[in-house]
């Protein structure tokens, strides 16, 4: 069973005139893949990611997520599914202000029915992104790279089936960006499915497969031949 299966996916917006943000897009993503969705702004890559991330609904076509036809789910069911199956990493971090690193990572567990020890689980994932020493720091006391690592930990805390990373390095310096990409690659090596949205070729080449979008259409779907293995030391030089 594929993780994500879309067929003739469409998304239109009506605001006086009808615009097609997404036209007849079809592809399949299997578990364990590392896919980069590329394209210039306005290409529909964000719209695609919002639909795949269950934040938005398609106007037409079929979307099977983990065997479920999501078009039949209501808002609350989508929220539950997002909570259990999907982790998000945003360009602008989107951490809660005036809240500790630990509490930020615990956040998805508040909305979960999982009866696990939230604090313990959050500490585990924070350790895996190398932030054990920052648990009680507030989010305004840590660097941008650290913020994004908190966001990754938050995406991992619910053992999501897929992690969506929307321009995760866009607001970071190259060294921090490289660290984030390295973590994402390691997570993928551990078996996590990762879908990356980016417009930088350099970042996209860290993935194993690239979907290129243009004017709301999928224009190419290729495996990355020379996959870039991120080495942080290289970047510093």
| Residues that bind another protein in the complex, under the rule CB under 8 A | 50, 53, 55-56, 75-76, 79-80, 82-84, 88, 90, 94, 96, 98-99, 107-108, 110-112, 154, 158
Minimum distance between the CB of residue 41 and another protein, rounded to whole angstroms? 13
Closer to another protein by Cβ: residue 46 or 185: 46
Q: Compute how many other C-beta atoms are within 10 angstroms of the C-beta atom of residue 140.
A: 10
Minimum distance between the CB of residue 166 and another protein, rounded to whole angstroms? 10
| Three-class HEC string of 113-166 | CCCCCHHHHHHHHHHHCCCHHHCCCEHHHCCHHHHHHHHHHHHHCCCCCEEEEE
Minimum distance between the CB of residue 80 and another protein, rounded to whole angstroms? 7
Cβ–Cβ under 8 Å, residues 58 and 10: yes
State how far the Cα of 233 lies from the Cα of 237, in Å rounded to an integer: 7
Closer to another protein by Cβ: residue 85 or 205: 85
Minimum distance between the CB of residue 10 and another protein, rounded to whole angstroms? 17
Q: For residue 79, which phi and psi values (nearest 5 degrees)?
A: -60, -45
State how far the Cα of 108 lies from the Cα of 114, in Å rounded to an integer: 10
Closer to another protein by Cβ: residue 2 or 99: 99
Minimum distance between the CB of residue 213 and another protein, rounded to whole angstroms? 17
Pairing of β 217-223 and β 162-166? unpaired
Closer to another protein by Cβ: residue 56 or 217: 56
């Amino acid at each position: 069973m594929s993780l994500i299966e879309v067929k003739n996916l469409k998304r239109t917006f009506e605001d006086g005139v009808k615009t097609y943000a997404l036209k007849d897009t079809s592809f399949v993503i299997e578990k364990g893949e590392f896919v980069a969705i590329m394209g210039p702004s306005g290409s529909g890559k964000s719209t695609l990611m919002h639909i795949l991330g269950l934040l938005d609904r398609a106007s037409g076509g079929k979307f099977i997520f983990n065997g479920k036809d999501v078009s039949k789910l209501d808002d609350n069911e989508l929220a539950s599914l997002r909570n259990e199956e999907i982790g998000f990493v945003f360009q602008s971090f989107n951490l809660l202000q005036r809240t500790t690193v630990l509490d930020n990572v615990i956040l998805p567990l508040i909305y979960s029915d999982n009866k696990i020890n939230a604090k313990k689980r959050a500490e585990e994932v924070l350790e895996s992104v190398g932030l054990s020493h920052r648990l009680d720091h507030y989010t305004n006391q840590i660097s941008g790279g650290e913020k994004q690592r908190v966001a990754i930990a938050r995406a991992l805390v619910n053992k999501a089936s897929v992690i969506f990373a929307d321009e995760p390095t866009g607001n970071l310096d190259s060294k921090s960006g490289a660290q984030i990409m390295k973590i994402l690659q390691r997570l993928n090596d551990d078996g996590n499915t990762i879908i990356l949205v980016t417009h930088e070729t350099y970042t996209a080449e860290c993935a194993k497969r690239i979907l290129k979008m243009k004017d709301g259409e999928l224009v190419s779907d290729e495996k990355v031949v020379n996959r870039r293995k991120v080495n942080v030391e290289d970047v510093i030089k």
